[in-house]
């Protein structure tokens, strides 16, 4: 083929592909992230959490049923609930297990406050809330969810015997065949994790092994949330870093004389970003 004709055909192929690539951009997700009603503190963390890149990597799409586990301060809820409303999907939060008679009053109040915060249907649609915990029941009907997301939680479960296995089995049960499990957590690699993630850091292989034991297959890994500045040897574990910024051991008063400059310069932790698939 003459070189000129080859170049023209290549240019035509690129031209035809360009609209498809543009269409693949999730404008509804971009709009949810750019919403002026998102808390300023959340927006300030976008540079570390990479919401658009992370959620598209994890497989988020319009009209999905998405279950977020232990949403904490609601960083992802502020994006996912409006996105579900805009695209005809359903957002479900796995929160404190009200069926647990041992649940503290603080945890009960925390759940009530969280539900109240996201009760504005005009902004958030109709989020659902489901019990989640060490003894909770199913997260939903078997095979009813498209995506389960858990961010910075696995290290909280590995220290409790049987907890990680239980919750990953719950994730597997509620996902549709072919559905995705999205995991983000503080990454210990290349060093070994300390006492089942007691400092907040886990080895990637540990998380993969737990997921595979539940039946998942690792679909992809990403360096979206990598931070090569994270030395992973902080005096109060990962919580020394932003956003927690601990200056004393957990449960003790903050130390006003603690020099935070080194840790603030590191920023948020180095994190694994994993996507698992439930086999079809």
Residue 4: per-residue pLDDT:
41
Look at the chain and report how many structural domains it folds into: 1
Q: Can you give the pLDDT at residue 11?
A: 38
Residue 72 domain-assigned (yes or no): yes
Query: ω into residue 177 within 30 of 0, thus cis?
Result: no
Residue 10 lies in a domain: no
Instruction: Quote the pLDDT of residue 279.
Output: 98
Say if residues 147 and 114 touch (Cβ distance below 8 Å).
no
Our CA dihedral for 51, 56, 59, 62, rounded to 10 degrees, sits at 90
CATH classification of the domain holding 102: 3.40.50.150
Q: Evaluate whether residue 204 is within a structural domain.
A: yes
- Domain annotation covers residue 9: no
Q: Identify whether the C-beta of residue 83 lies closer than 8 Å to the C-beta of residue 58.
A: no
Establish if 128 belongs to a structural domain.
yes
Q: Which domain holds residue 61?
A: 27-227+270-278
Residue 194 has pLDDT above 80, yes or no: yes
pTM of the model: 0.90
On whether residue 237 sits in a domain, the answer given is no
C-alpha to C-alpha distances, 184 to 57, 91, 208, 269, nearest whole angstrom = 12, 18, 12, 11
In a domain, 251, yes or no: no
pLDDT for 143 beyond 80: yes
Give the C-alpha separation, 25 to 113, whole Å: 34
- Residue 159 neighbours by CB under 8 Å, 6+ apart: 195, 196, 197, 198
Q: Are 232 and 272 in contact (CB under 8 A)?
A: no
- Cβ neighbours of 106 (radius 10 Å): 9
* Structure-token pair, residue 199: 């400092």
The per-residue pLDDT for range 57-72, each reduced to its tens digit, is 999 999 999 999 999 9
> pLDDT of 12-59, one tens digit each?
333 333 333 334 789 999 999 999 999 999 999 999 999 999 999 999
The verdict on residue 15 lying in a domain is no
- Tell me the pLDDT band of 200, cut-offs 50, 70 and 90: very high
Say how far apart CA 185 and CA 153 lie, in whole Å. 7
226-231: long-range contacts (C-beta < 8 A, 24 or more apart)? 226/187, 226/270, 226/271, 227/48, 227/266, 227/267, 227/268, 227/269, 227/270, 227/271, 228/270, 229/265, 229/266, 229/267, 229/270, 230/266, 230/267, 230/269, 230/270, 231/266
């Amino acid at each position: 083929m003459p070189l000129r004709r080859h170049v023209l055909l290549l240019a035509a192929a690129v031209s035809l592909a360009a609209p498809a690539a543009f269409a693949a951009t999730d404008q509804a997700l971009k709009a949810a992230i750019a919403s002026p009603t998102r808390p300023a503190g959340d927006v300030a963390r976008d540079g570390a959490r990479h919401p658009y890149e992370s959620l598209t990597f994890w497989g988020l799409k319009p009209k999905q049923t998405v279950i977020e586990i232990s949403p904490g301060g609601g960083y992802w809820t502020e994006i996912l609930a409006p996105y579900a409303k805009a695209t005809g999907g359903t957002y479900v939060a796995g929160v404190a297990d009200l069926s647990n008679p041992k649940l503290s009053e603080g945890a009960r109040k925390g759940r009530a406050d969280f539900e109240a915060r996201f009760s504005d249907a005009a902004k958030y649609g109709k989020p659902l809330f489901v019990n989640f915990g060490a003894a909770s029941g199913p997260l939903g009907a078997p095979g009813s969810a498209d995506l389960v997301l858990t961010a910075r939680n696995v290290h909280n479960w590995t220290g409790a015997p049987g907890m990680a296995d239980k919750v990953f089995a719950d994730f597997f049960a509620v996902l549709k065949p072919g559905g995705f499990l999205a995991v983000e957590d503080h990454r210990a690699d290349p060093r070994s994790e300390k006492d089942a993630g007691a400092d907040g850091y886990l080895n990637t292989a540990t998380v993969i092994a737990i997921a595979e034991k539940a039946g998942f297959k690792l679909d992809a890994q990403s360096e979206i949330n990598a931070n090569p500045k994270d030395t992973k040897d902080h005096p109060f574990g990962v919580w020394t870093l932003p956003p927690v910024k601990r200056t004393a051991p957990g449960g003790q008063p903050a130390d006003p004389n603690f020099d935070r400059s080194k840790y603030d310069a590191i920023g948020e932790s180095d994190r694994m970003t994993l996507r698992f698939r439930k086999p079809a």
